[in-house]
Amino acid sequence: MRKILVSGLVLCLCIISYGWMNSACQNNDLLKYKSEKKAFPEVELPDNVLLTKTSPEALGIQANDFNKVDQIALNAIKAGAFPGCQILVAVDGKIIYQKNFGTTMFGNNDSIRNDFVYDIASVTKIAGSTLALMRLQTLNLFSLDKQLKDYLPELVGTGKFSNLLIRDMMAHQAGLVAWIPFYQKTLKNGKLAPELYKTAKANGYENEVAKDVWLNSAYTDTIYQRLLASSLTPGNHYEYSDLGYYFMKKIIEKQSNKSMDVFLQEEIYTKLGLNHIGYKPLTWYTLDKIVPTENDKTFRVQQIHGYVHDPGAAMLGGVGGHAGLFANAHDLATIMQLFLNKGKAGSQQLLDEKVVEEFTRVQFKGNRRGAGFDKPTPSKKGQTCELVSAESFGHSGFTGTFAWADPVYKINYVFLSNRVCPSAENWKIRDMNVRTNIQQVIYEAVMKRTNK
């Protein structure tokens, strides 16, 4: 009996010890991971109602034509443009190319695989807030032709922001400044102001900005006060701005009576069976499957891992209209395919067809933007290759991400990387034209088929 009791006690201690060590390991940042952590086995993600897998040859496309994509990605990693990436290409709703390259950080052995998720930065604008607004418009709870005062009178009052048109804001021609570095006024002598931040969650300090960094929840009001005190440029001229999406978040939450992350999860992501997209990834995923971003030396003073890179979205607790989503290439491509299918997913019409057409078209003459979506420049030079159709749409992200859909050629292209790791000053991905060059190869391969 004594032997049994001792054995049981040892077993319990082992289980408790294992649970503690496992939890501690997940909460360590990536830089503290042990060196023996090697490549993960690849995971095959199942087909869904919008995306299935097939061979390029099944669609009349030569698989060898995609060898150039491999080479561009490998050369970029070798040149230090980013540690690793995910690339997915679908045509006609069929995935014909899906590969991962490199590692989560320079100098480690954590190979990227299909189920890893990236901070998609401003691609959140279309896969998050714009998608939510399209769903609300489908439910007759939103219109692009309203003004801010129609939705948020308690916030904007009768001030200069009250008459801003939602359509202007979504097309980046409402006169808003490009961005505001909100975090700077929360620092004292280069460090987090102790009256605003705590190292653990506490009453009134519930906005989790990073590991062991909690911001006073009331500071959200200060952010919006600063927004409303910012300048407006008269005249309808195009200037890309994050600020309109702070207001879109408010509208989504008021019209849906839910937080934006919950509304998207319940109304879109869950209905599509998606498990690799969402805000605040540490609430639904393990740290070792979340790709890190910047070693932030000016604001949070830590390696950002599992938390949104964008400071403004972080100060809102990780849920922003302009940034905050994490996703893998598969789930993001599913969202892009929903747009290509004009809102239909199997038997579900999640977005009204006319709503999709309205949001993805150019909104104003002399401004290439859709409502939330980016569009090709008239010269088709810049953020896309020259072969895309004028009807195509998508968005890029500061962290090194890109998602683009083309209804003419039925091409769905997603590129995810963490080019800001370890520094946001690394612009080799742009200077090497990596995302655009890959897109060029994709179009050349597909157009061989379409030209037959």
End-to-end CA distance of the chain: 81
Residue 381, CA distances (Å) to 34, 153, 241, 364 in order: 44, 41, 21, 19
User: How far apart, in whole angstroms, are the C-alpha atoms of residue 316 and residue 333?
Assistant: 26
pLDDT, tens digit only, all 452 positions of the chain: 333 333 443 334 343 343 433 333 333 433 333 233 345 567 778 889 999 999 999 999 999 999 999 999 999 999 999 999 999 999 999 999 999 999 999 999 999 999 999 999 999 999 999 999 999 999 999 999 999 999 999 999 999 999 999 999 999 999 999 999 999 999 999 999 999 999 999 999 999 999 999 999 999 999 999 999 999 998 888 999 999 999 999 999 999 999 999 999 999 999 999 999 999 999 999 999 999 999 999 999 999 999 999 999 999 999 999 999 999 999 999 999 999 999 999 999 999 999 999 999 999 999 999 999 999 998 777 789 999 999 999 999 999 999 999 999 999 999 999 999 999 999 999 999 999 999 999 999 999 986 64
User: How far apart, in whole angstroms, are the C-alpha atoms of residue 113 and residue 101?
Assistant: 8
Residue 44, CA distances (Å) to 10, 57, 96 in order: 38, 20, 14
In CATH terms, the fold of domain 39-142+256-450 is Beta-lactamase (3.40.710)
Output the pLDDT for position 19.
40
8 A C-beta contact, residue 399 and residue 311: no
Q: What 3-state DSSP class applies to 347?
A: coil
Contact partners, residue 236, CB within 8 Å, separation at least 6? 168, 173, 175, 364
Output the pLDDT for position 450.
61
Nearest residue to 171 (alpha-carbon basis) of 130, 138, 136, 135: 130
Output the pLDDT for position 4.
39
The DSSP bridge pattern shows strands 94-102 and 52-53 to be parallel
User: How far apart, in whole angstroms, are the C-alpha atoms of residue 22 and residue 34?
Assistant: 13
Domain spans of the chain, in order of start: 39-142+256-450
The pTM score is 0.90
